[in-house]
Amino acid sequence: MVNLKRRTLLGVAGAAACVGLGATFLSRRERHQDAPIVLRFSHVAAANTPKGRAAQYLSDEVARASRGEVRIDVFPNSTLYKDGEELEALQLGTVDMIAPSLSKLASIGLNGFAAFDLPFLFSGYESLHEITDGPIGRKMLDQFEHAGLAGKAFWDNGFKNMSATRPLIEVKDFSQLRMRIQPSKIIDLQMRLLGASTEDIALADLRDALAKGLVQGCENPPSNFLTQNLGAVQQYMTLSRHGYLGNLLLVNNEFWSQLPRYIRTLLDECIDAATRYTNSIARTENDQALAMIESTGTTRVLDLSARQRSDWQKTLEPVYQQITDSTSLALVATARRRS
Ligand code: LMR
Protein backbone atom coordinates (compact mmCIF):
# COMPACT_ATOMS: atom_id res chain seq x y z
CA MET A 1 0.00 0.00 0.00
CA VAL A 2 2.51 2.52 1.15
CA ASN A 3 5.41 2.42 -1.13
CA LEU A 4 8.20 4.83 -1.46
CA LYS A 5 8.39 3.87 -5.10
CA ARG A 6 5.54 6.30 -5.59
CA ARG A 7 7.82 9.03 -4.36
CA THR A 8 11.30 9.97 -5.35
CA LEU A 9 13.80 8.99 -2.77
CA LEU A 10 16.63 10.35 -4.83
CA GLY A 11 17.88 13.74 -4.02
CA VAL A 12 17.27 13.61 -0.32
CA ALA A 13 20.82 13.25 0.79
CA GLY A 14 21.52 16.94 1.24
CA ALA A 15 19.25 16.71 4.24
CA ALA A 16 22.04 14.95 6.04
CA ALA A 17 24.06 18.13 6.30
CA CYS A 18 21.67 19.64 8.83
CA VAL A 19 21.70 16.62 11.09
CA GLY A 20 25.44 16.48 11.24
CA LEU A 21 26.01 13.67 8.77
CA GLY A 22 27.58 16.11 6.40
CA ALA A 23 29.84 15.17 3.59
CA THR A 24 28.83 11.50 3.38
CA PHE A 25 25.60 12.44 1.69
CA LEU A 26 26.55 15.65 0.01
CA SER A 27 28.11 13.75 -2.82
CA ARG A 28 24.92 11.77 -3.24
CA ARG A 29 22.96 14.99 -3.23
CA GLU A 30 25.06 16.27 -6.06
CA ARG A 31 24.15 13.19 -8.00
CA HIS A 32 20.40 13.33 -7.31
CA GLN A 33 19.25 16.85 -7.03
CA ASP A 34 15.96 16.61 -8.86
CA ALA A 35 12.72 15.67 -7.08
CA PRO A 36 12.15 16.09 -3.35
CA ILE A 37 10.44 13.57 -1.09
CA VAL A 38 6.98 14.93 -0.48
CA LEU A 39 4.97 14.14 2.64
CA ARG A 40 1.31 15.09 2.86
CA PHE A 41 0.11 16.36 6.22
CA SER A 42 -3.66 16.54 6.58
CA HIS A 43 -5.47 18.05 9.55
CA VAL A 44 -8.87 19.42 10.46
CA ALA A 45 -8.05 22.66 12.31
CA ALA A 46 -7.61 26.10 10.77
CA ALA A 47 -4.13 27.25 9.77
CA ASN A 48 -4.15 29.92 12.49
CA THR A 49 -4.58 27.55 15.44
CA PRO A 50 -1.83 25.92 17.53
CA LYS A 51 -2.07 22.76 15.39
CA GLY A 52 -2.18 24.71 12.13
CA ARG A 53 0.82 26.79 13.12
CA ALA A 54 2.76 23.73 14.27
CA ALA A 55 2.12 21.92 10.99
CA GLN A 56 3.33 24.94 9.01
CA TYR A 57 6.34 25.38 11.32
CA LEU A 58 7.24 21.73 10.75
CA SER A 59 6.91 22.15 7.01
CA ASP A 60 9.11 25.28 7.01
CA GLU A 61 11.67 23.69 9.31
CA VAL A 62 11.93 20.56 7.15
CA ALA A 63 12.30 22.62 3.96
CA ARG A 64 15.05 24.69 5.59
CA ALA A 65 16.87 21.80 7.26
CA SER A 66 16.77 19.56 4.20
CA ARG A 67 17.54 22.46 1.90
CA GLY A 68 14.40 21.73 -0.05
CA GLU A 69 14.99 18.05 -0.58
CA VAL A 70 12.19 16.95 1.73
CA ARG A 71 8.89 18.78 1.53
CA ILE A 72 5.82 18.63 3.75
CA ASP A 73 2.65 19.82 2.04
CA VAL A 74 0.13 20.85 4.67
CA PHE A 75 -3.63 20.55 4.05
CA PRO A 76 -5.42 22.32 6.95
CA ASN A 77 -9.09 22.76 7.79
CA SER A 78 -10.32 19.34 6.56
CA THR A 79 -9.44 20.24 2.96
CA LEU A 80 -8.25 16.66 2.36
CA TYR A 81 -9.92 14.59 5.09
CA LYS A 82 -12.38 15.25 7.90
CA ASP A 83 -12.34 13.81 11.41
CA GLY A 84 -13.35 10.19 11.10
CA GLU A 85 -11.57 9.91 7.74
CA GLU A 86 -8.04 11.02 8.48
CA LEU A 87 -6.97 8.03 10.61
CA GLU A 88 -8.06 5.60 7.94
CA ALA A 89 -6.38 7.72 5.26
CA LEU A 90 -3.13 7.54 7.21
CA GLN A 91 -3.44 3.78 7.63
CA LEU A 92 -4.04 3.43 3.89
CA GLY A 93 -1.09 5.67 3.13
CA THR A 94 -3.04 8.26 1.18
CA VAL A 95 -1.59 10.81 3.59
CA ASP A 96 1.68 10.54 5.50
CA MET A 97 1.11 12.63 8.62
CA ILE A 98 -1.91 13.65 10.66
CA ALA A 99 -2.42 15.15 14.12
CA PRO A 100 -5.85 14.03 15.32
CA SER A 101 -7.14 15.04 18.71
CA LEU A 102 -6.49 12.50 21.46
CA SER A 103 -10.26 12.04 21.75
CA LYS A 104 -10.33 10.28 18.37
CA LEU A 105 -7.79 7.57 19.08
CA ALA A 106 -10.25 5.13 20.62
CA SER A 107 -11.53 4.54 17.08
CA ILE A 108 -8.33 2.55 16.38
CA GLY A 109 -8.56 0.62 19.62
CA LEU A 110 -6.41 2.92 21.76
CA ASN A 111 -8.89 3.47 24.56
CA GLY A 112 -6.26 4.69 27.02
CA PHE A 113 -6.10 8.12 25.38
CA ALA A 114 -9.67 8.72 26.54
CA ALA A 115 -8.23 9.53 29.98
CA PHE A 116 -7.16 12.88 28.53
CA ASP A 117 -10.88 13.64 28.04
CA LEU A 118 -11.70 13.35 31.74
CA PRO A 119 -13.38 16.51 33.02
CA PHE A 120 -11.56 18.70 35.54
CA LEU A 121 -8.47 16.48 35.54
CA PHE A 122 -5.66 18.90 34.69
CA SER A 123 -5.02 22.06 36.64
CA GLY A 124 -3.17 23.54 33.66
CA TYR A 125 -0.53 22.91 31.02
CA GLU A 126 2.14 22.14 33.66
CA SER A 127 0.27 19.18 35.10
CA LEU A 128 -0.48 17.99 31.60
CA HIS A 129 3.16 18.20 30.48
CA GLU A 130 4.25 16.14 33.43
CA ILE A 131 2.35 13.34 31.71
CA THR A 132 2.94 14.03 28.02
CA ASP A 133 6.67 14.73 28.47
CA GLY A 134 7.22 11.92 30.98
CA PRO A 135 7.25 8.10 31.01
CA ILE A 136 3.46 7.81 30.70
CA GLY A 137 3.44 9.91 27.54
CA ARG A 138 6.37 7.93 26.10
CA LYS A 139 4.57 4.66 26.77
CA MET A 140 1.43 5.98 25.09
CA LEU A 141 3.37 7.11 22.01
CA ASP A 142 4.77 3.59 21.66
CA GLN A 143 1.34 1.95 21.36
CA PHE A 144 0.59 2.49 17.69
CA GLU A 145 2.44 -0.32 15.98
CA HIS A 146 -0.58 -2.67 15.84
CA ALA A 147 -2.41 0.02 13.86
CA GLY A 148 0.46 0.40 11.36
CA LEU A 149 1.26 3.85 12.74
CA ALA A 150 3.95 5.54 14.81
CA GLY A 151 3.18 8.12 17.48
CA LYS A 152 5.59 11.04 17.29
CA ALA A 153 4.57 13.84 19.63
CA PHE A 154 1.87 15.40 21.79
CA TRP A 155 0.84 18.80 20.50
CA ASP A 156 -1.20 21.02 22.80
CA ASN A 157 -4.25 22.91 21.83
CA GLY A 158 -5.88 24.02 25.04
CA PHE A 159 -8.66 23.85 27.57
CA LYS A 160 -12.24 23.59 26.40
CA ASN A 161 -15.17 25.81 27.26
CA MET A 162 -18.82 24.89 26.95
CA SER A 163 -20.93 26.97 24.61
CA ALA A 164 -24.56 26.92 23.60
CA THR A 165 -27.52 28.90 22.39
CA ARG A 166 -28.41 29.51 26.05
CA PRO A 167 -26.30 30.30 29.13
CA LEU A 168 -24.78 27.21 30.77
CA ILE A 169 -24.23 28.02 34.42
CA GLU A 170 -26.13 25.56 36.58
CA VAL A 171 -26.02 21.84 35.77
CA LYS A 172 -29.75 21.94 35.02
CA ASP A 173 -29.07 24.35 32.14
CA PHE A 174 -27.84 21.38 30.06
CA SER A 175 -31.20 19.67 30.24
CA GLN A 176 -32.83 19.13 26.79
CA LEU A 177 -29.73 20.35 24.97
CA ARG A 178 -28.12 18.33 22.22
CA MET A 179 -24.36 18.76 22.39
CA ARG A 180 -21.86 18.07 19.63
CA ILE A 181 -19.13 15.69 20.74
CA GLN A 182 -16.02 14.10 19.35
CA PRO A 183 -16.11 10.28 19.18
CA SER A 184 -15.16 9.70 22.82
CA LYS A 185 -17.07 7.58 25.33
CA ILE A 186 -15.80 9.79 28.15
CA ILE A 187 -17.07 12.99 26.50
CA ASP A 188 -20.35 11.29 25.64
CA LEU A 189 -20.87 10.26 29.27
CA GLN A 190 -19.77 13.68 30.51
CA MET A 191 -22.52 15.37 28.47
CA ARG A 192 -25.12 12.82 29.50
CA LEU A 193 -24.30 13.20 33.19
CA LEU A 194 -24.86 16.91 32.76
CA GLY A 195 -28.29 16.11 31.36
CA ALA A 196 -27.71 16.71 27.65
CA SER A 197 -27.91 14.33 24.70
CA THR A 198 -25.06 14.04 22.22
CA GLU A 199 -24.25 13.88 18.53
CA ASP A 200 -20.84 12.97 17.13
CA ILE A 201 -20.12 15.54 14.39
CA ALA A 202 -16.93 16.32 12.48
CA LEU A 203 -15.40 19.71 13.19
CA ALA A 204 -15.82 20.68 9.54
CA ASP A 205 -19.59 20.17 9.83
CA LEU A 206 -20.06 21.71 13.26
CA ARG A 207 -20.98 25.26 12.38
CA ASP A 208 -23.58 24.07 9.89
CA ALA A 209 -25.03 21.61 12.40
CA LEU A 210 -25.34 24.43 14.95
CA ALA A 211 -26.83 26.80 12.40
CA LYS A 212 -29.46 24.21 11.45
CA GLY A 213 -30.25 23.46 15.10
CA LEU A 214 -29.21 19.81 14.84
CA VAL A 215 -27.18 20.50 17.98
CA GLN A 216 -27.36 23.53 20.25
CA GLY A 217 -24.03 23.40 22.01
CA CYS A 218 -20.46 22.16 21.97
CA GLU A 219 -17.11 22.32 23.78
CA ASN A 220 -14.00 23.81 22.25
CA PRO A 221 -10.82 25.63 23.12
CA PRO A 222 -11.11 29.31 22.14
CA SER A 223 -8.78 28.85 19.14
CA ASN A 224 -11.11 26.37 17.44
CA PHE A 225 -14.24 28.27 18.50
CA LEU A 226 -12.89 31.44 16.91
CA THR A 227 -11.42 29.98 13.73
CA GLN A 228 -14.48 27.82 12.98
CA ASN A 229 -16.56 30.98 13.38
CA LEU A 230 -18.79 29.41 16.00
CA GLY A 231 -19.54 32.80 17.53
CA ALA A 232 -22.05 33.30 14.73
CA VAL A 233 -24.13 30.38 16.06
CA GLN A 234 -23.28 30.21 19.79
CA GLN A 235 -24.59 33.12 21.81
CA TYR A 236 -23.08 31.99 25.14
CA MET A 237 -19.77 30.57 26.23
CA THR A 238 -18.97 29.48 29.78
CA LEU A 239 -15.35 29.64 30.88
CA SER A 240 -15.54 26.11 32.24
CA ARG A 241 -12.06 25.00 31.14
CA HIS A 242 -13.30 21.57 32.10
CA GLY A 243 -11.39 19.47 29.61
CA TYR A 244 -8.24 19.35 27.57
CA LEU A 245 -7.96 19.18 23.78
CA GLY A 246 -4.62 17.91 22.57
CA ASN A 247 -3.37 16.31 19.39
CA LEU A 248 -1.08 13.45 18.57
CA LEU A 249 1.30 13.67 15.64
CA LEU A 250 1.15 10.35 13.80
CA VAL A 251 2.91 8.92 10.77
CA ASN A 252 2.33 5.80 8.73
CA ASN A 253 4.85 3.30 10.01
CA GLU A 254 5.47 1.52 6.74
CA PHE A 255 6.15 4.77 4.93
CA TRP A 256 8.31 6.05 7.77
CA SER A 257 10.43 2.91 7.96
CA GLN A 258 11.16 3.04 4.23
CA LEU A 259 12.74 6.48 4.57
CA PRO A 260 16.53 6.49 4.81
CA ARG A 261 17.72 6.66 8.41
CA TYR A 262 19.22 10.14 8.05
CA ILE A 263 15.92 11.49 6.72
CA ARG A 264 14.10 9.98 9.67
CA THR A 265 16.64 11.62 11.98
CA LEU A 266 16.16 14.95 10.28
CA LEU A 267 12.37 14.67 10.46
CA ASP A 268 12.52 13.67 14.13
CA GLU A 269 14.65 16.70 14.92
CA CYS A 270 12.27 18.98 13.06
CA ILE A 271 9.29 17.36 14.83
CA ASP A 272 10.97 18.05 18.18
CA ALA A 273 11.43 21.69 17.19
CA ALA A 274 7.80 22.00 16.03
CA THR A 275 6.61 20.37 19.25
CA ARG A 276 8.56 22.81 21.41
CA TYR A 277 7.21 25.65 19.27
CA THR A 278 3.53 24.70 19.40
CA ASN A 279 3.58 23.80 23.07
CA SER A 280 5.10 27.20 23.80
CA ILE A 281 2.46 29.18 21.86
CA ALA A 282 -0.73 27.23 22.64
CA ARG A 283 -1.62 29.12 25.79
CA THR A 284 -1.09 32.57 24.26
CA GLU A 285 -2.92 31.58 21.07
CA ASN A 286 -5.95 30.56 23.10
CA ASP A 287 -5.77 33.64 25.35
CA GLN A 288 -5.70 35.84 22.27
CA ALA A 289 -8.56 33.92 20.67
CA LEU A 290 -10.65 34.36 23.82
CA ALA A 291 -9.92 38.09 23.90
CA MET A 292 -11.05 38.29 20.27
CA ILE A 293 -14.28 36.38 21.00
CA GLU A 294 -14.99 38.73 23.89
CA SER A 295 -14.26 41.86 21.91
CA THR A 296 -16.37 40.74 18.93
CA GLY A 297 -19.32 40.62 21.30
CA THR A 298 -21.55 38.16 19.43
CA THR A 299 -20.93 35.53 22.11
CA ARG A 300 -21.47 36.46 25.74
CA VAL A 301 -18.66 35.01 27.84
CA LEU A 302 -19.71 33.87 31.31
CA ASP A 303 -17.80 32.55 34.30
CA LEU A 304 -18.73 30.03 36.97
CA SER A 305 -18.73 30.77 40.68
CA ALA A 306 -16.77 28.38 42.92
CA ARG A 307 -20.05 26.74 43.99
CA GLN A 308 -21.25 26.29 40.41
CA ARG A 309 -17.90 24.83 39.32
CA SER A 310 -17.98 22.44 42.26
CA ASP A 311 -21.51 21.33 41.29
CA TRP A 312 -20.31 20.54 37.75
CA GLN A 313 -17.38 18.62 39.18
CA LYS A 314 -19.52 16.56 41.55
CA THR A 315 -21.99 15.77 38.78
CA LEU A 316 -19.16 14.59 36.53
CA GLU A 317 -17.20 12.57 39.05
CA PRO A 318 -18.81 9.21 37.98
CA VAL A 319 -17.01 9.52 34.61
CA TYR A 320 -13.82 8.54 36.40
CA GLN A 321 -15.22 5.05 36.98
CA GLN A 322 -14.74 4.42 33.27
CA ILE A 323 -10.98 4.46 33.74
CA THR A 324 -9.69 1.00 34.49
CA ASP A 325 -6.47 0.28 32.62
CA SER A 326 -3.20 0.73 34.48
CA THR A 327 -1.68 3.44 32.25
CA SER A 328 -4.80 5.59 32.44
CA LEU A 329 -5.02 5.09 36.19
CA ALA A 330 -1.39 6.19 36.52
CA LEU A 331 -2.19 9.20 34.32
CA VAL A 332 -5.10 10.19 36.54
CA ALA A 333 -3.08 9.71 39.73
CA THR A 334 -0.21 11.85 38.36
CA ALA A 335 -2.54 14.63 37.23
CA ARG A 336 -4.46 14.63 40.51
CA ARG A 337 -1.27 14.91 42.55
CA ARG A 338 -0.75 18.30 40.92
CA SER A 339 -4.25 19.69 41.18
C1 LMR B 1 -12.55 18.63 17.29
O2 LMR B 1 -13.05 17.86 16.48
O3 LMR B 1 -13.18 19.41 17.99
C4 LMR B 1 -11.07 18.64 17.40
O5 LMR B 1 -10.60 17.38 17.13
C6 LMR B 1 -10.52 19.59 16.43
C7 LMR B 1 -9.03 19.57 16.41
O8 LMR B 1 -8.46 20.59 16.80
O9 LMR B 1 -8.48 18.56 15.99
Residue 9 has pLDDT above 60, yes or no: no
Cα 169 vs. chain centroid, distance in angstroms?
Answer: 27
For residue 211, pLDDT over 80 is answered with: yes
Instruction: Give the pLDDT confidence score for residue 118 in this predicted structure.
Output: 98
Nearest CA to ligand 1 atom 2: 203
* Start-to-end C-alpha separation, the chain: 46
Over residues 152-172, the mean pLDDT reads 98
Give the list of residues 6+ apart from residue 54 with CB closer than 8 angstroms, or none: 99, 155, 274, 275, 277, 278
pLDDT (0 to 100) of residue 22: 32
Q: What is the pLDDT of residues 243-266, one digit of tens each?
A: 999 999 999 999 999 999 999 999
Distant-in-sequence, close-in-space partners of 121: CB < 8 Å, separation ≥ 6: 115, 243, 244, 332, 335, 336, 339
Residue of minimum CA distance from atom 1 in ligand 1: 203
Tell me the DSSP string of 69-115.
SEEEEEE-TTSS--TTTHHHHHHHTSSSEE--BGGGGGGGT-GGGGG
Report the percentage of the chain scoring pLDDT > 90: 87
pLDDT at 111: 87
Structural domain count of the chain:
1
For residue 124, pLDDT over 70 is answered with yes
pTM equals: 0.89
pLDDT of 339:
67
Q: What is the pLDDT of residues 286-325, one digit of tens each?
A: 999 999 999 999 999 999 999 999 999 999 999 999 999 9
Over 80: is that where the pLDDT of 1 sits? no
Question: Ligand 1 centroid to 156 CA: how many Å?
Answer: 11
Bridge partners, 175 (sequence order): none
pLDDT of 268 > 60? The answer is yes
* Residues within a 6 A CB radius of ligand 1: 44-45, 51, 83, 101, 157, 182, 203, 220, 224, 247
For the ranges 10-24, 91-105, 267-281, the lowest mean pLDDT is seen at 10-24
Beta carbons within 10 angstroms of residue 202's beta carbon? 18
Residue 168 three-state SS: coil
Closest ligand 1 atom to residue 83 Cα is 2
pLDDT per residue over 53-106, tens digit each?
A: 999 999 999 999 999 999 999 999 999 999 889 999 999 999 999 999 999 999
Choose which residue among 116, 117, 182, 249 to substitute to test ligand 1 binding: the one with the highest number of ligand atoms within 8 A of its C-beta: 182
Of 17-31, 98-112, 126-140, least confident by mean pLDDT is: 17-31
The number of helix segments (H) and strand segments (E) in the chain equals 12, 9
Centre of ligand 1 to C-alpha 336, Å, is 25
Taking 80 as the threshold, does the pLDDT of residue 120 lie above it?
yes
How confident is the model at residue 65, as a pLDDT? 97
**What pLDDT sits at residue 96?**
96
> Could you tell me where the DSSP H helices lie in 162-260?
185-194, 203-211, 222-227, 253-258
213 exposure class (CB count in 10 Å sphere: 0-12, 13-18, 19+) = exposed
10 pLDDT more than 60:
no
182 CA from centroid of ligand 1 (Å): 8
- pLDDT for the residue numbered 33: 54
Ligand 1 centroid, distance to 142 Cα (angstroms): 22
CATH number for position 280: 3.40.190.170
pLDDT band at 35 (very low <50, low <70, confident <90, very high): confident
Higher pLDDT, 72 or 24: 72
How many angstroms does the Cα of residue 203 sit away from the middle of ligand 1?
6
Phi/psi zone of residue 213: left (φ > 0), alpha (ψ -120 to 50 degrees), beta? left
User: What's the burial of 105, exposed, middle or buried (CB within 10 Å: 0-12/13-18/19+)?
Assistant: buried
CA 145 / ligand 1 centre spacing (Å): 23
Q: Residue 5: pLDDT above 60? A: no
Of 188, 173, 175, 223, which Cα lies nearest the Cα of 203? 223
Across the range 112-122, mean pLDDT stands at 96
Nearest CA to ligand 1 atom 8: 45
pLDDT at 34: 66
Find the domain containing 120 and state its range: 4-338
pLDDT at 13: 34
Which ligand 1 atom lies nearest to the CA of residue 247? 9
pLDDT tens digit sequence for 175-199:
999 999 999 999 999 999 999 999 9
Identify the H or E element spanning 12: none
Name the least confident of 16-25, 35-44, 64-73, 104-113.
Answer: 16-25
